[in-house]
Amino acid sequence: MDASSLPAALELVSGGGAGLSPEKRAVLGSSLLLLQRDYRFERVWFWGCIQGVCGAYYIAQGLGPDRAAPRSRLYSLNCVEWSLLPPVTEEMVTQAGRLKGRFQGDPSFEYEYTERNAEDAERLFEDGKEPMIKEEARLVATIEQIDRAVGIVPRGAFVKTPLGSVSENRNFEGLSLTEAKRLSSYFHFTEPVDLKNKTLLEKADLDPSTDFLDSLEHDIPQGSWTVQLEKGGTVVVLRSLLWLGLTFYHVPMTKQYGYVYFGNGEKNLDLPFML
């Protein structure tokens, strides 16, 4: 969610019980603006918080002119001092996916793999060292996994230019209440996968400037999202059951929308058995 509207946005997603104390909100309100100035970001989003055993990671994302370009990710342990996370790689995502258990809350903590594949065994044989991954790498990989799986935006909120860059749609005035209650009105804000597999006939009714992302309606498993009306029916809230703690909000007929994550950074692998 946008740092400039953080207090109001956190109030809109507080129905699930997660949130920040008034002290944390006040500190974040000022520190995120300083972060934007110091790193010269065009926009800063407060991504959320991953709770560890001994501490919590508060996450922010810095955006440039192209909103679909890789974002700069930063973390803080106290909401005041921010550290830049390394760029994520596919190897990091793969390695982090094999780790189980809670985060420790210490960026320098090193994990040992409980299960080794052939590549790990070969590396151990050559180097004589146990393969390890730092919690900092696991943190940025987990953020990437969550963004890919459940980072969403309303349909029409962003437009794709003929040159391929993505920016906010200045003409977006929000979804109607009827549209806001449908999963098909929300898109994954990441590189599309399903869209590339659609036939020309299926793409005929799509607007290439706004329908360039994957819709939520075909997410697997079916039923991994809940859609609710809150605040007297004035706010539509989507919650992910796959990554528990991810909450998205949208106020129909306005430009107010965003998502935030408050959780332990673990995927709900039992979801298919719960539906």
Q: Please tell me whether residues 172 and 228 are part of one structural domain.
A: yes
Residues 36 and 52 in one domain: yes
Q: Of the residues 52, 70, 85, which one is the last residue of a structural domain?
A: 85
Structure tokens at 230: 């809150």
In terms of domains, do 197 and 165 share one? yes
Using the 8-state DSSP alphabet, how is residue 59 labeled? Answer: E
Whether the model pTM is above 0.85: yes
Q: Which residues of 87-124 are buried (b: 16+ CB within 10 A; e: fewer)?
A: ebeeebbebbeebeeebbbebebebeeeeeeeeeeeee
Q: Which amino acid is at 263?
A: G
Judge whether 146 lies within some domain. no
β-strand partners of 50: 57, 263
Q: Comparing C-alpha atoms, which of 252, 255, 245, 254 is closest to residue 181?
A: 252
Does residue 272 form part of some domain?
no
| Residue 274, in any domain of the structure | no
How far is Cα 249 from Cα 154, in angstroms, rounded to an integer?
Answer: 10
Instruction: Using alpha carbons, select from 253, 251, 246, 252 the residue that is nearest to residue 267.
Output: 246
Find how far residue 46's CA is from the centre of its chain.
10
In a domain? residue 26: yes
* Domain carrying residue 118: 90-141
Q: Which DSSP category does 251 fall into?
A: -
Q: What is the total count of domains within the chain?
A: 3
What is the residue-level pLDDT of the chain in tens, covering all 275 positions? 888 888 888 888 887 777 788 888 889 989 999 999 999 999 999 999 999 999 999 999 999 888 888 899 999 999 999 999 999 999 989 988 888 889 999 998 998 765 655 555 555 545 555 668 899 999 999 999 999 999 999 998 999 888 888 889 899 999 999 999 999 899 999 888 776 666 666 666 676 677 788 889 888 888 899 999 988 889 999 999 999 999 999 999 999 999 999 999 999 988 888 86
